[in-house]
């Protein structure tokens, strides 16, 4: 059974991505699981091409440095020809109404003439990502569930119109892992594209910078430490980050600290211990472009091989190619 997960290099990977997803991918990934850096998805909003290229390389290095098997990783745009071909076939399988109904499109772009057409059609590209690799399961949060449902509908529709080519995928909720909130605004989840990087700890931040960001983290009123996510979300967030790094329970951890200052020191220490090995391996990979390139090429070749027979069959049955 193949499970397919992705991370978009819209900006640098942060501890939300690490503690909430990629660390688990490395620890629990099964032999058939696949992971990719979805750089094509980062093009739906305004972006800088040189920065996208650099972020894509950095994200690949971080995934491998986190411990994900390099044999299970690839970069989306390395399959751009295959994806382009299947996306067109699927766009001609999908209706405008279906694409325009996607909640993310309605929230980010509907009604604005200047919005990129790619923002409307990227769920179809996502369907091509999923169907080309023959994924059975796609672990996604609520915000992406609708897109996997679309992939499911398109697979079924194509199969019944033309012949059985595609595995019909299903969205599964990822096993619960840490949900990390922004350090300066605990009402928001930590996000790559947050307007202010002060509340985001990036995986490749230096130990010094991590310490400074954690020291400046917001705390709720009162100086004592209690674990009360509803009434004291900022302190609870710090305790959850600590717990995710050390494996302890946030309630128990709360009893160890006389004040928020000592809690912050412990959080910074734990994050530095957690991230230093990843940072060192990632920087090593980034300093040796030949090694990263070899990983990338091998990943692309494997992904293209997995895709080839499905794309050939889809084009043949669609009467083209
Ligand atoms: N704050 C978070 N806490 C826990 N998990 C998180 N993830 C993201 N933020 C947190 C998980 O990381 C994986 C990859 O994320 P993504 O690139 O697909 O996009 P995202 O969820 O949209 O992440 P961002 O950082 O918020 O990016 P932008 O700002 O570009 O939208 C996913 O498994 C995600 O759940």
Domain with residue 152: its CATH number is: 3.40.50.620
Structure confidence at residue 141 (pLDDT): 86
Does 102 lie in the same domain as 34?
yes
Q: Indicate whether residue 193 lines ligand 1 (CB < 6 A).
A: yes
- What does the pLDDT average to over 121-148? 95
pLDDT of residue 54 exceeding 70: yes
Does 160 lie in the same domain as 30?
yes
Domain, as residue range, for 89: 4-178+289-318
Does 228 lie in the same domain as 93?
no
- Provide the 3-class DSSP secondary structure of residue 65: helix
Can 297 be counted among the known catalytic residues? no
What phi and psi values does residue 115 have, to the nearest 5 degrees? -70, 145
Does 78 lie in the same domain as 44?
yes
CA-nearest residue for atom 5, ligand 1, is 20
pLDDT confidence bin for 42, thresholds 50/70/90 = very high
What is the pTM (predicted TM-score) of this model? 0.94
Pocket test for ligand 1, best of 191, 195, 233 (most atoms within 8 A of CB): 191
99 in any annotated domain:
yes
Q: Which residue has the higher pLDDT, 321 or 200?
A: 200
Quote the strand ranges of 47-160, DSSP E: 73-75, 137-139
Does 99 lie in the same domain as 41?
yes
Ligand 1 centre to CA of 76 (Å) is 17
What would the two tokens of residue 159 be?
């199969």
184 in any annotated domain:
no
Does 266 lie in the same domain as 121?
no
Q: Taking a C-beta distance cutoff of 8 angstroms, is the pair 138, 4 a contact?
A: yes
**CATH code: domain of residue 224:** 1.10.240.10
Q: Indicate whether residue 20 lines ligand 1 (CB < 6 A).
A: yes
Does 238 lie in the same domain as 168?
no
pLDDT tens digits along 144-193: 999 999 999 999 999 999 999 999 999 998 876 678 999 999 999 999 88
> Which value does ipTM take for this structure?
0.94
Q: What is the DSSP-derived secondary structure letter of residue 205?
A: -
249 in any annotated domain:
yes
191 in any annotated domain:
no
Q: Which residues of 13-32 are buried (b: 16+ CB within 10 A; e: fewer)?
A: bbbbbbbbbbbbbbeebeee
Can 106 be counted among the known catalytic residues? no
Return the closest-CA partner of residue 6 out of 32, 45, 27, 36: 36
- What does the pLDDT average to over 208-224? 93
Q: Indicate whether residue 21 lines ligand 1 (CB < 6 A).
A: yes
Q: How many domains does the chain have?
A: 2
Return the closest-CA partner of residue 100 out of 141, 150, 66: 150
CA-nearest residue for atom 32, ligand 1, is 21
Does 75 lie in the same domain as 12?
yes
């Amino acid at each position: 059974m193949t499970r397919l997960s992705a991370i978009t290099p819209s900006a640098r990977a942060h501890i939300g991505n690490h503690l909430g997803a990629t660390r688990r991918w490395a620890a629990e990934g099964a032999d058939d699981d696949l992971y990719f850096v979805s750089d094509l998805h980062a093009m739906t909003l305004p972006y800088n091409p040189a920065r996208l290229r650099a972020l894509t390389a950095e994200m690949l290095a971080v995934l491998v440095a986190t411990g994900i098997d390099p044999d299970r990783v690839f970069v989306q745009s390395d399959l751009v020809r295959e994806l382009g071909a299947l996306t067109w076939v699927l766009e001609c399988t999908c209706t405008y109404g279906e694409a325009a109904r996607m909640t993310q499109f309605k929230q980010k772009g509907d009604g604005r003439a200047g919005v990129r057409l790619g923002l409307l059609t990227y769920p179809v590209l996502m369907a091509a990502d999923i169907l080309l690799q023959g994924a059975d399961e796609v672990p996604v949060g609520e915000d992406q569930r609708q897109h996997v449902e679309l992939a499911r509908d398109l697979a079924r529709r194509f199969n019944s119109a033309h012949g059985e080519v595609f595995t019909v995928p299903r969205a599964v909720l990822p096993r619960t892992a840490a949900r990390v909130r922004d350090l300066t605004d605990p009402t928001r989840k930590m996000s790559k594209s947050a307007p202010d990087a002060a509340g985001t700890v990036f995986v490749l931040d230096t130990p010094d910078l991590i310490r400074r960001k954690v020291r400046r983290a917001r705390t709720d009123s009162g100086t004592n430490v209690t674990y009360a996510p509803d009434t004291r979300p900022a302190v609870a967030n710090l305790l959850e980050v600590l717990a995710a790094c050390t494996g302890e329970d946030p309630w128990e951890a709360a009893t160890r600290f006389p004040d928020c200052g000592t809690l912050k020191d412990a959080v910074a220490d734990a994050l530095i211990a957690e991230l230093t090995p990843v940072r060192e391996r990632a920087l090593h990979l980034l300093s040796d472009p030949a090694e990263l390139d070899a990983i990338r090429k091998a990943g692309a070749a494997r992904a293209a091989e997995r895709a080839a027979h499905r794309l050939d069959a889809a084009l043949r049955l669609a009467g083209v190619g």
